[in-house]
Amino acid sequence: MTHRPYERDLGTLYLTFAPAHLDDDDAALAMIASFPDISAAGIKYGLACRHFATTGDESRIDAYFDAVDIGPDHEFDAGTVAVARRQVERMRMLEWEITGVHPSDTDPDSE
């Protein structure tokens, strides 16, 4: 899986609202303040993209898509979550390619 333009753009967007000097906890709070409807998975993915945009390191994005954060007490197993995460992001990437508008750039209040 390649994580180049889409994840770099998303990471850059999140860096605007959660600058690189913030640790993950403070960055997550900044993302919640800026995007009140963001999900827990969205925060995890956003932090991974933010890390990638800052460092070029894709390991956190890979870990997100491999669902390494899903423990045995989770409602779904890691394999199911990994498949769902890949499908959701693939749909978002396709929307971005078709429309030229990154999904995170849309204002839900104006739609």
Let me know if residue 88 belongs to a domain.
yes
Give per-residue pLDDT as tens, 31-88: 999 999 888 888 999 999 999 999 989 899 888 888 888 877 778 888 888 899 888 8
pTM: 0.73
Let me know if residue 109 belongs to a domain.
no
Let me know if residue 61 belongs to a domain.
yes
Instruction: With H, G, I as helix, E, B as strand and everything else as coil, classify residue 59.
Output: helix
Interatomic CA distance for residues 103 and 11, integer angstroms: 13
Let me know if residue 55 belongs to a domain.
yes
Give me the pLDDT at residue 28, please: 95
Segments forming the whole domain that contains residue 43? 5-102
Interatomic CA distance for residues 47 and 60, integer angstroms: 8
Give me the pLDDT at residue 102, please: 64
Let me know if residue 53 belongs to a domain.
yes
Give me the pLDDT at residue 39, please: 87
If one counts the domains in the chain, the total is 1
Let me know if residue 45 belongs to a domain.
yes
Give per-residue pLDDT as tens, 3-14: 567 788 888 989
Give me the pLDDT at residue 72, please: 78
Structure tokens at 72: 């045995």
Let me know if residue 111 belongs to a domain.
no
Let me know if residue 85 belongs to a domain.
yes
Residue with the larger pLDDT of the pair 30 and 103: 30
